[in-house]
Amino acid sequence: MWIMTANVKQALLSVSDKTGIVDLARALRALGIQLLSTGGTARLIAEAGIEVTEVADYTGFPEMLDGRVKTLHPRIHGGLLARRDDAEHVAALVKHDIPTIDLLVVNLYPFAATVARLDASLEEAIENIDIGGPAMLRAAAKNYGGVAVVVDPADYATVLEEIKASGSVTAKTRFALAKKVFAHTAQYDGAITNYLTSLDDSDQRRPFSGTLNLHFAKALELRYGENPHQAAAFYRELKPVAGSLATFTQLQGKELSYNNLADADAAWECVKSLDSSACVIVKHANPCGVALGPSAEKAYLRALSTDPTSAFGGIIALNCEIDEAAAVAIARQFAEVVIAPAFTPAARTVFAARDKVRLLEIALAKTPPGLDFKRIGGGLLVQDADLFPVNKAELKVVTTTQPSDEQLADMLFAWRVAKFVKSNAIVFCRDGMTLGVGAGQMSRVDSSRIAAIKAEHAGLALAGSAVASDAFFPFRDGLDVVIDAGATSVIQPGGSMRDAEVIAAANERGIAMVLTGHRHFRH
C-alpha cells in the first residue's frame, strides 16, 4: 500500500454512538476540514453551531426508504475507494466531480445491544441491521492507504492529534485502524448470524444458535502452552463478564503461563462461590485446600493445612483483601500466583521481596458466567455454566439419622467445593475447611480412598467429618470407605440404580445422608 502524504481535506461522520462526536467535529472543522454527515449525527453537529453538509445535499439524492438508503452512492464510495496513486482512479474522480473522503468516522446500529434484550422482537432486530455503515467501513478499510477510518470513539484523540501535527494520519495508524474495522464488522455480522440462526420456525429463540461465531481479542502471548513444545496465547472476550479471571490486573511477577491461567481460573471461580472470607489453593486444576476463616491469614493457613505438600507451587486465591499478616504467611511458601480483590500497601511491600510471584487483582463480582466451551477434535462442545444452586431447604434427608445444623453447614460447604474438583470427586470437610480431597479417579471408591489418605498424610483427623460426592455412589463400597475413615454425614446427588442399597448402608452405619438431586461432574 502507498503512503498518504496529502492532508485530510474532507471527513464523513455518521455514528450511532455519539460519544465525543461533537468535540471531534468542532476540532476537525477548526482545522479547515470539510464535514459530511447523515441524519441525527448531522443534526447534532449543526445544532452545536458547526458547519456540516448533509450527505443528501452532497450526493444530490435524498435519503429514502426510511433512511435505509442514504450513503450507498457513487459520490460516497468513489471518494472512499479511489486509490490516490492510480492515474485512472484519479481521472475517474475528476471526470465525475467526486472529491476524496480522507477520513471516515462511523459506528453501527446497536444490533448486539438490541438482541441482548430478551423482549426484542425479530422486526426490531432486523431494523437494527446496519447496511450502509458496514459498506462504508469496509470500503475505507480496504483503501487504508489513502483513507483513515475510525469505528471506535476511543481512537478520536489519536487521529486528531496526528492530523494536528502533520495534516494527515500516519500510515501505521491507518493500518491499525483498518484492522480494527474488519474485526468490528466481522463481529457485527457474527452477532447477526448468531441471533438469526437461534430462532425457530415461530421466531422464538432457542438456547443455542445454528451457527456459532465467537470473537476474542488476543490479550497475551504466552511463553508456551501446557508443555514447552506447544505455542500458546491468551484471548480475552470482547466484553468479559464482570469479576471473571479475564478482568485481572497483574500487579507484579513474571509472565503468566498457560497453566497459570488455567489453574488461576479454577481457583478464582471456586473462591468466588464462597460467601464468607475464604481461601482456595489449586494445583493442576484441582482445589487441594479450601477454607473459611475470620481473616485472610486464618483462611489461608486453614486451606494450606489440608495438603501443604500439594500446595507447593500452587495458585492461591482469596475472596477478601490480602493484608500484611496474610501476605507474610503466604510469602513463606512458593506460590506461582496469588489472586485477591485487593492487596493493602503493606501486603504489596511484603510481596515485592518475592518479585517473581504473580499478583493478580480482580474486582469481586458474582455475575454469572456465559456459556462454557470445550474443544474436541474437529468441533466444540458448548453448554450452560454449572450454576445450579443448592440450599439447605432443598436437601432431601434419606436416612433415619437426621443431620444437625453443623453437619448441614459442613455438607453444603463440601458440596460447593466438590463442584470444582475433577470427577470423580470426593471431599471431606469439617468446620468450614477441607480435610481431604480425592480427584479425577476412574472409580469413586478410589477417590474416596485417596481423599482419606490425603487427610492422614496431612495429620488431619476425619472423625465427625462431612463428605461430598459430586455424583452418586454406584455401590456401597465408596460410602463404606468414607465412613470407615470417620465421616458421619454425606451429601450426594442420588439417582443410582442402587440408591436403596446405599441408603440402607448409611442407615446400617448410623450416619446422616442427604440428596441434592443434581450432580456436579467436572471433566
Nearest residue to 13 (alpha-carbon basis) of 133, 130, 124: 133
Q: What are phi and psi of 44, to 5 degrees?
A: -60, -45
Cβ–Cβ < 8 Å for 485, 437: no
Set of cell numbers at residue 182: 474488519
**Which residue among 9, 89, 254, 284 is the active-site one?**
284
Provide the 3-class DSSP secondary structure of residue 498: coil
Closest of 353, 354, 299, 289 to residue 321, by C-alpha: 299
What distance in Å separates the CA atoms of residue 371 and residue 385, rounded to the nearest whole number? 6
Three-state secondary structure along 419-485? Answer: CCCCCCCEEEECCCEEEEEECCCCCHHHHHHHHHHHHHHCCCCCCCEEEEECCCCCCHHHHHHHHHH
Helix residue ranges, H only, 215-321: 258-272, 296-306, 308-311
Nine-digit cell at 177?
A: 485502524
Active-site hit among 142, 215, 254, 298: 142
Please confirm, yes or no, whether 184 is among the known catalytic residues: no
Cβ contact 493:396 at 8 Å: no
Report yes or no: 421 and 522 within 8 Å, Cβ to Cβ: yes
Establish whether 142 is a catalytic residue: yes
Cell of 122: 425479530
* Pair type for strands 10-15 and 379-383: unpaired
Distances from the Cα of 477 to the Cα of 423, 449, 467, 483, angstroms? 17, 10, 14, 10
Annotated catalytic residues are 142, 284
